[in-house]
């Protein structure tokens, strides 16, 4: 399922999404994850999982996932549902680990600059994040626009 320009722009702008998974018995889990790549024409979203606990266990039992992102200021948001593939080795994994390291460095520098400008810091930042344990490839199968459209009675769903 193809992602449109607005979806890609939002994912690129924020880079952090809420990923929801469920165990085989239906127990839900929601966790923040960092997007490392979006392939809009192929309907694929990649993210790295750093903690490798509940999300990984859920995805091994139940490969269905939901990714949610919203921008309050821009009044837009989307939910992407799909099927996952987990990778913890190989060229793709190494490629995205390097990309994540660059992104983490940029985020850390940006946060440090903001902290200096504000004259304060909460002491927590990207430097303390653990190394990624695995790469998750999500093949998007459904997309929901999280905001209602004027005059629309539908649930704003697209499906493959």
DSSP-derived secondary structure for the chain: ----HHHHHHHHHH-EEEEEEE-TT--EEEEEEEEEEEETTTTEEEEEESS-SHHHHHHHH--EEEEEEEETTTTEEEEEEEEEEEE-SSHHHHHHHHHHHHHHHHHHHHHHHHHHHHT---S--GGGPPPP-EEEEEEEEEEEESSPPTT--S--EEE-
pLDDT score recorded for residue 3 = 97
Q: How confident is the model at residue 122 (pLDDT cuts 50, 70, 90)?
A: low
Q: What is the mean pLDDT of the chain?
A: 85
pLDDT score recorded for residue 151 = 46
For each of the domains in the chain, give its residue range(s) and CATH number, in order of start: 5-93+131-159 (2.30.110.10)
Query: Who has greater pLDDT, 46 or 116?
Result: 46
pLDDT tens by residue, 18-58: 999 999 999 999 998 888 999 999 999 999 887 768 999 99
pLDDT score recorded for residue 7 = 96
């Amino acid at each position: 399922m193809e992602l449109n320009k607005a979806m890609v722009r939002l994912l690129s702008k924020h880079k952090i999404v809420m990923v929801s998974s469920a165990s085989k018995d239906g127990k839900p889990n929601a966790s923040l994850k960092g997007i490392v790549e979006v392939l809009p024409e192929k309907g694929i979203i990649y993210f790295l999982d750093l903690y490798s606990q509940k999300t990984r266990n859920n995805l091994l039992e139940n490969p269905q996932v939901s990714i949610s992102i919203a921008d309050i200021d821009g009044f837009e948001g989307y939910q992407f549902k799909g099927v996952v593939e987990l990778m913890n080795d190989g060229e793709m994994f190494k490629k995205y680990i390097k990309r994540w390291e660059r992104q983490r460095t940029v985020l850390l520098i940006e946060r440090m600059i903001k902290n200096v400008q504000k004259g304060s810091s909460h002491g927590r930042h990207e430097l303390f994040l653990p190394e990624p344990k695995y790469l998750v490839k999500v093949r998007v199968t459904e997309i929901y626009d999280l905001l209602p459209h004027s005059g629309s009675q539908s649930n704003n769903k697209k499906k493959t």
